[in-house]
Structure 1
Amino acid sequence: MIILSIDSATPVAAVAVIKDSVLLAEEMLNIGNTHSTQLMPMAAHVLAQSNIKMSEVDAVAVSQGPGSFTGLRIGMATAKGLAQGSGCKLIAVPTLDVLAQNMWGYDGLVCPILNAKKNEVYSALYRFDGAKMAQISDYTAISPENLAKSLANSANICFLGDGVPVYREMLSNILGERAKFAPADKLLSRGASLAYLAYEKAQCGEYAELFTTLPIYIRKCEAEINWELKHPGESVL
């Protein structure tokens, strides 16, 4: 089975191609929000490097969120367009799951944190039981201070994600040596991690519906909040 993965949920743009469980090609750019111009060339490049045509791809995997509202829409539209155009399946994987997969096999709590702005992070907690990753808390938007306080009785907590450079000092001050941080090569989203999780979903027949699958936002965007303030009691739709 051939899977093309596309992740633009964060400032990182990441793509990868796997055949069954073997990584064939992977590319990542961490140069800011250029997803609208970079994703398609990146996808074309990893396919070409793998000597695979889009018509041979069995499924396109997309990082579903939470994350950047604009980035999520770009990634979802790109993945859906490729899937519809080639007639292949769509697989949606939550972004925090993708990040947690980077720490496969870690002995302790894994806590991905994405910078959600407004002094909040998107986060969830995970543990690995052998080769299986288990999510042990819901996806949430929370202040990093409250997140750290909620983990006060935990130990060996590995933080990763683009929230780490922003809140590392705060987390260390509150949690001390209990706070661990992923190495640089595992800190950010990877197309390979997305592709591997998508492969697991495919083995279980967990495909996404092409026309109704939406990003996971968790909270409302600024434009929606402002509209509701100006139009109390009215529906956005």
Structure 2
Amino acid sequence: MKVLALDTSSIVASVAVMDDEKLIGEHIINHERTHSQKLMPMVDDLLKSCELTMEDIDLIAVAEGPGSFTGLRIGVATAKGLAHAMNIPVAGISTLDALAFNLPFCEGLICPLLDARRNQVYTAIYKWEEGDFLSIDGPMAITLDELIEKLSVRPERVIFMGDGMEKNAEVLTKSLGNRVVFSPNTVKMPRASSIAQLALQKAAEGKIESFYALTPNYLRKSEAERQYEEKMKRCDQDGCGKD
């Protein structure tokens, strides 16, 4: 089975092709340019470089979130469009799962951090145990203090990664001391190859789905939704539109 994987959940755009035996190719761009401009050219270029066409692809995998709302919409919409056109299934993969999967078989806890703004992070806690990739807690959108409280009661070292890592490095080190490890640049960012590997595992378990069912997992409401709800609450309290 050949899987085409996409990740546009952050500023990083990543595309990969993988089969059951090997990673065939991967393109990563970590530079400011809109995903709507670069994603499809990256897909086309990667397939040509690997001497493949969309007819060779059996499964589309995509980072379903959490992450940038706009980035997720672009990635999911692209995956749905490609899957619809080729009449093939899709696999939505958690951005946090894929980030943590960048560090296979390591010791200690793995804690991806994505900047969720509003003084929060998107995060989860993982661990490898006897070759199994385990989700310990999450996914969740919480404050850094809440995350530190969760980690403080555990004895393991904690490996951090993701675009929220540098921003919070000083506080994490001050709070957790020498238990803190920051991942190197090569694995701290989203990689479509991890999306692809997790998608192949889903396929082996029969957990792939129709593109109709694929939706982004924002993990929390958008700013527009929150503002609308607050407006409606004020209207209920103040009697907006009533004579």
* SS at structure 2 position matched to 1:121: strand
CA contact (8 A) 2:80 2:214 kept: no
1:77-134 deviations in Å (ceiling 9; x for gaps): 0001011111111111110000010011011111111111111110111111233211
CA RMSD of aligned residues (A): 1.3
Count of equivalent residues: 234
* Structure 2 length-normalised TM: 0.93
Give the AA of the match of 2:174. N
Note the C-alpha offset of 1:184: 1.1
* SS at structure 2 position matched to 1:62: strand
* SS at structure 1 position matched to 2:24: strand
Correspondences of 1:192-203 after superposition (within 5 Å): 192-203=193-204
Note the C-alpha offset of 1:217: 1.0
Tell me which moved more, 147-156 or 34-43.
147-156
* SS at structure 2 position matched to 1:138: strand
Distance 2:106 2:153 in 1: 19
Note the C-alpha offset of 1:231: 2.0
Correspondences of 1:133-148 after superposition (within 5 Å): 133-148=133-148
Correspondences of 1:149-228 after superposition (within 5 Å): 149-154=149-154, 155-228=156-229
Correspondences of 1:45-84 after superposition (within 5 Å): 45-84=45-84
Match of 1:114 in 2: 114
Distance 1:212 1:17 in 2: 22
1:137-190 deviations in Å (ceiling 9; x for gaps): 121011112211221132211111111011111111111101111111110000
Distance 1:54 1:179 in 2: 43
Distance 2:134 2:223 in 1: 32
Match of 2:17 in 1: 17
Distance 1:91 1:182 in 2: 27
The answer for unaligned runs of 5 or more in structure 2 is 237-243
Q: Which runs of 4+ in 1 moved over 6 A?
A: none
Correspondences of 1:95-114 after superposition (within 5 Å): 95-114=95-114
Note the C-alpha offset of 1:33: 5.1
The structure with the larger Rg is 2
